[in-house]
Amino acid sequence: MVDVLPLVEARLNTALGEPDARAAVTFLGTDRIEVLRFQEGDVLRYATLGMSAHPMADPTAMLADPVKGPRAELVLSVRAGVADTDPVLRPLAVLAASPQVEGLVVTPGASLDVGEPLWPGAPFTSVLVGEPGGLVEDLALDDPLDPVRFLPLLPMTPNEAAWKRVHRAQALQERWLANGTDLRDPARRSVPLD
């Protein structure tokens, strides 16, 4: 069995440069999850490392396939210097461990909620999972392994998360686009939803 994590880290380094900080979290009964921080100009990017070590399994399956199944890592981008966003490391590790802990399959369009602010004073408690392939290209693995997808996380206010549940992810993304919302602003307000 190939260890995918060195390949994943190499892909992150190729796309984002060398990390300037890293932290590791281990939850009872799960593998270690690392969160790497990259700085590019005035943007901080936080990327998980460890979620893709195992394929995500359908929670209704009798047995989890140890080889086949979707693999992913999470990437969050925020503007530096606006808020102390480094405490997001633990919530990101919690989200990255959710496939192992809860049997969750994380896919684009999904909402993930941590139940508390992503960092102290943050107006966001949840994220929308975006489409992969923009910032970090998928990492192809040898057959029969599925590729590792790097899923961007878009912070949502509680009002946006509630609106998204009713109107779906695409409608919220269109609302953000129509209003010129800076999704990297760690202190932004909710987009108008009326």
CB neighbour list of residue 132: distance below 8 Å, 6 or more residues apart: 72, 108, 138, 149, 150, 151, 152
Q: What is the pLDDT of residue 67?
A: 78
Q: Is the pLDDT of residue 19 over 90?
A: yes
Quick one: tokens of 149? 């997808």
Q: What is the pLDDT of residue 121?
A: 93
Q: Is the pTM of this model over 0.75?
A: yes
- For 86-137, the pLDDT digits (tens) are 999 999 999 999 998 888 899 999 999 999 999 999 999 999 999 998 899 9
Euclidean distance between CA atoms 36 and 139, whole angstroms: 17
Q: Is the pLDDT of residue 42 over 70?
A: yes
